[in-house]
Chain A
Amino acid sequence: MFLQTLVTGLGIGSIYALMAMGYCLVFSILNFSNFAHGAMIMIGAYVGYLFCSIIGIPFFLSIIITAVITGILSVINERLAYRSLRERNAPSLYLIITAMGISIMLENLVYSTIGSNFYAYPRVFSKNYLEIFSSTIGLIDIYSFFVSIICIILLHLFLNNSKIGMAIRAGVADPIATSLMGANFNVLIRNVFFLSGIFAGISGVFMGLRYMVYPQMGWITNKAYIAAVIGGLGSLPGAIIGGFILGIIETIVSVYISSVVRDVFSFSMLILILLLKPLGLFGIKYEEKM
């Protein structure tokens, strides 16, 4: 029973981690919480459903196509909605409000075009459960865990070994000095939004597969936002660990206490961590040296 709970927790946690990474990437470089990320995850779930169920492409191929599509949508979102604000040096608050607006707009766009029906993904795996040590382990948990781990490793390699990755890390610490090096900040931002869109698409497909696909599903991703805050907004390792902690605690609370109080626990934990460590578990503030 405990093993099963733990694996489910890791499975859900890995999706939270993936979603939190998308929040975190944008926050770390632009210093605002991109609440349109939730809507992008919802669109990812629909796009994945389209390929997987209606067109009938194999599951893992659908994930890849979905990731590319949401990546591009996320870049378009930045170009149309955020860039002009950035170029006028608008305060972060304006960007946050714009992001919320985008999120509401996309949600209603789906309502008015596709409708408010709930859709369920088809059976994508031949077997849904594995029997290990007399526990039933959900295959979806295992797949989502491994897909997330692969994404985390690829992101890590990209940020640490590519020139653009290095410039993105530099831009996180000091955008102006990064521009002085000759980096085009808009190109860096485009890359960041593409990555965040990719993670939105992948996590959207897994969310849709685990639960259902419906217009307001983006709001579930508030949990991912909690995960990012717990870990320390702007810290990637923080987002990942925050995601896993949240997933495991939620599952344990649902199983051993009651699923009714699950969210009470998540939000209480958020408040407690912010009271004790206002920057989150891994939040960093760079200080300049004189």
Chain B
Amino acid sequence: MLTIKDMNVFYGHIHALQGVSIQVNQSEIVSIIGSNGAGKSTLLNSIAGIVKRASGEITFENNPLPTRSYDIVKLGISLVPERRRIFPNLTVNENLKMGAYLRNNQKEVEIDLEEMYRLFPILKKRTKQFGGTLSGGEQQMLTIARGLMSRPKFLMLDEPSLGLAPNLTEEVFLKIEEINQTGITILLVEQNAFKALEIANRAYVLENGKIAFSGIGAKMLDNPKIKDAYLGV
């Protein structure tokens, strides 16, 4: 579905991504793990078009990926950004409607709003509340729901468990699996390597801007190198 070939990204003089190639197939969950500053977020941000890539080819459904973020969203790619980035001055309902910004069929949007409230019942009680007043966990649910409001085929999640209590982390991962079961392909970036590998079909390990390993998610859990470096066992 999505193929990246030999992508390079620079921040000034820092070579953030160095010849990264990955592939994500239809209906998979693919996880990218790695330590802080390895370039995980940069990878997602450059797919979403908010970070410019210096070189490399990205194809989505066999077509080259456009570079403007709004053209990318139109194709059915959605990024749930790191640290939530909900709109604090908009209500929960408006936050969700922003997710459906490019859709013009109001009726369908209303149906999907109801669907989001069913999927995330926590939000239902908060529809008129400003996004900034929600707790961290509620905000995370809201960003995921907002990311789904564009009806993506391909959903990218950047550190969805960041700053969440363990029981909420558990809930977020359950939701991710539930979303995947509806046929949406998922590319997940996580610091919580154990959880990320557990739910992934396949995974990549990013180290200092380069892909260090890749493989089947469950098998990587047993890989001694990964155990040592990322799982802390």
Contact = CB atoms under 8 A, between A and B. Distances in A.
Chain A interface secondary structure, helix, strand, loop or mixed? helix
Interface residues of A, number: 22
Contact of B98 (A176, A178, A184): A178
B81 A177 contact: yes
Interface in B122-173: 132, 134-136, 139, 146, 150, 162-163
A91 B81 CA distance: 24
Interface in B41-95: 48-50, 68-70, 73-74, 78-79, 81, 83-90, 94
A85 B50 CA distance: 17
Given A179-B50, A179-B69, A286 B81 contact: no
A289 B85 contact: no
Interface stretch (A129-137, A164-172, A199-207): A164-172
Interface of B: 48-50, 68-70, 73-74, 78-79, 81, 83-90, 94, 97-99, 101-102, 132, 134-136, 139, 146, 150, 162-163
B101 A182 contact: yes
Nearest to B100: A181
Main secondary structure on chain B at its contact with chain A? loop
Contacts of B83: 288, 290
A170 B131 CA distance: 11
Contacts of B162: 290
B149 to A, nearest CB: 9
19 contacts: A166-B90, A166-B97, A170-B94, A173-B89, A174-B85, A177-B85, A178-B98, A180-B50, A180-B69, A180-B78, A180-B85, A182-B73, A182-B101, A183-B70, A286-B88, A286-B89, A288-B83, A289-B132, A290-B136
A173 B95 CA distance: 12
A288 B162 CA distance: 13
Interface of A: 163, 166-167, 169-170, 172-174, 176-184, 284, 286, 288-290
